[in-house]
C-alpha cells in the first residue's frame, strides 16, 4: 500500500467510529483528489431523498471516480464528509459506508452543514487517495 494509517495508543480507538487518526504518505507518491461526490445518478439528479441511499450512491460514485485512475477505496487516505443536519443515526450510516475502504479506515472529518449545492442533497464526500 502507498500509505500508512496510524492510531496512537494514547488516543481513543476511532475505528468503530469509521475513521483513523493519522495517515502518512511517502514522498514521491502520486495523490488523486476526488471532488465532492453526492448521491447522484449518471444524469446528475439525486437518486433518492433517503439519507442512507444517498450515502451509498455517493460512495459508489467515489469508487467509480477512483477506478478511472486504477485505484479503489483502499487507496483513500483522507475523507471529508458533509452532512446536512448531522445526528448519531447519520453518523452510523456514514461509518458503515466507510467500512468499504477496508479494515483500517482513512482519516475523516465529518462537517455538519446547513445545506449543500442543491436542496435535495443531504450528503457529500470528497477524498484524497494515494497511488503506490
Decide: 85 and 91 in contact? Cβ < 8 Å. Answer: no
Concatenated DSSP letters of 41-94: -TTSSBS-S-HHHHHHHHHHHHHHHHHTTT--GGGEEEEEEEEES--HHHHHHH
For the chain (length 132 residues), average pLDDT per consecutive 10?
Answer: 89 92 94 97 96 98 98 97 97 95 94 96 98 86
Q: What is the pLDDT of residue 1?
A: 63
Q: What is the pLDDT of residue 97?
A: 96
pTM: 0.93
Q: Quick one: 103 exposed, middle or buried, by C-beta within 10 A (0-12, 13-18, 19+)? A: exposed
Place of cell 450510516: 93
Tell me what percent of the chain is helix, strand and coil, each rounded to the nearest 5. Answer: 30, 35, 40
Domains located in the chain, CATH noted:
28-131 (3.30.1330.40)
Q: How many helices (H) and strands (E) does the chain have?
A: 2, 6
Q: What is the pLDDT of residue 2?
A: 76
Q: What is the pLDDT of residue 32?
A: 97
Q: What is the pLDDT of residue 85?
A: 96
Amino acid at each position: 500500500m502507498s500509505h500508512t494509517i496510524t492510531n496512537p495508543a494514547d488516543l481513543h480507538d476511532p475505528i468503530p467510529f469509521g475513521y483513523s487518526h493519522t495517515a502518512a504518505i511517502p514522498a514521491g507518491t502520486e495523490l488523486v483528489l476526488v471532488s465532492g461526490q453526492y448521491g447522484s445518478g449518471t444524469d446528475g439528479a439525486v437518486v433518492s431523498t433517503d439519507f442512507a441511499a444517498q450515502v451509498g450512491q455517493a460512495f459508489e460514485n467515489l469508487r467509480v471516480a477512483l477506478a478511472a485512475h486504477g485505484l479503489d477505496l483502499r487507496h483513500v487516505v483522507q475523507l471529508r464528509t458533509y452532512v446536512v443536519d448531522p445526528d448519531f443515526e447519520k453518523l452510523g450510516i456514514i461509518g458503515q459506508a466507510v467500512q468499504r475502504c477496508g479494515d483500517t479506515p482513512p482519516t475523516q472529518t465529518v462537517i455538519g452543514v446547513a445545506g449543500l449545492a442543491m436542496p435535495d442533497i443531504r450528503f457529500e464526500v470528497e477524498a484524497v487517495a494515494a497511488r503506490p
